[in-house]
Amino acid sequence: MTPSDRARSLTDRVRFVANERAVDVARLRRQLVFQCVLARLAVDDVWVLKGGYCLEVRLGGVARATKDLDLAFRGDASLIDAHQMSELLETALDRELDDGFTFSIDEPKALAAAEAGQPGWRVSVRAFIGGAAFETVKLDVVVRAAEIRGGTGPLAVEPVLQSPEFTSIVIAAVDIPQHAAEKTHAYARIYAHDRPSSRVKDLVDLVLLIEAGLLEPRSWAVRLVHVFTVRDRTPPPAELPEPPESWRVPYGAMGEELQLAASDLDAGWRLVAEMYAIAVTAFDEHHLDME
């Protein structure tokens, strides 16, 4: 079988599975590449999965489709620059596995400085099957050793295609309380700039976690305090701010697409704000009990 034949065969298999599961073909192709990338990164202990793909793995088709793979690097930030990050990724992605994929990457491009002053890069990764181009994905890599300390755990990623060359992967990932705390921090900064944030997805993702019954208030509170302290050196706010009116239409569209019970902006905000209030109260009571 020629390289192009092998790529075509894999494309046909992905299309068949996508039709069978009634999911978007492009989403399934990205997921396949994400998993093959993660299979190589999981060999090392320095990469931690975070962001939207964590939700896709935990919630399946219920979660928003993500186009980027978000990773935290838990090495020493002072020892890493764009060139060194490129070398680390190239070494990891050069590993030969039975899936038949090979990868090439572009030079990492710096992301905007994070609140905690840690570096980050966006990396374009081209995936090839049998030497033929298959898909290009983006990796966003940030240095987060202090921020994610105590907030990670193993996450099993099941293969998109049931085939011997694609096997389940276990990789370090931010846990649910940490993930929710990061989303909450981003949401709480709605009015931190000249114009309100447009990150409606942060509220939507929190609603998804709560509606799935995955978010426990006390654990969330512990990570909230940790994330806000590391990023801002301040405690989390006593209350969550209300979302801007400009979020109403996009939230409604996402709510309908994802079939949220809290399908409109007001209901979504109330759900998250009420759970947040429980979390803050639980944390305060915990500290009073310790005094």
At 61-110, the pLDDT tens digits run 788 889 999 999 988 777 788 999 999 999 999 999 999 999 999 999 99
Q: Answer yes or no: are the C-beta atoms of 148 and 74 closer than 8 Å.
A: yes
**pLDDT by residue (tens digit) across 31-53?**
999 999 999 999 999 999 999 99
Q: Which residues of 218-254 are buried (b: 16+ CB within 10 A; e: fewer)?
A: ebbbbbbbbbbebbeeeebeeebeebeeebeeebbeb
Q: Which of 147, 136, 132 is nearest to 48 (CA)?
A: 147
Give me the pLDDT at residue 51, please.
93
Pairing of the two strands 132-143 and 68-73: parallel
The string of DSSP letters for 175-192 reads -HHHHHHHHHHHHHTTTS
Instruction: Spell out the domain ranges in the chain.
Output: 3-174, 177-290
Name the more confident of 243 and 144: 243
- For the stretch 128-143, pLDDT in tens is 998 889 999 999 999 9
Which residues make beta-bridge pairs with 172? 154
Residue 291 predicted with pLDDT over 50? no
* pLDDT given at position 244: 92
Supply the pTM of this predicted model.
0.90
Lowest mean pLDDT among 148-157, 175-184, 228-237: 228-237
**Whole-number mean pLDDT of the chain?**
90
Q: In Å, what is the CA distance from 23 to each residue of 20, 52, 192?
A: 8, 17, 37
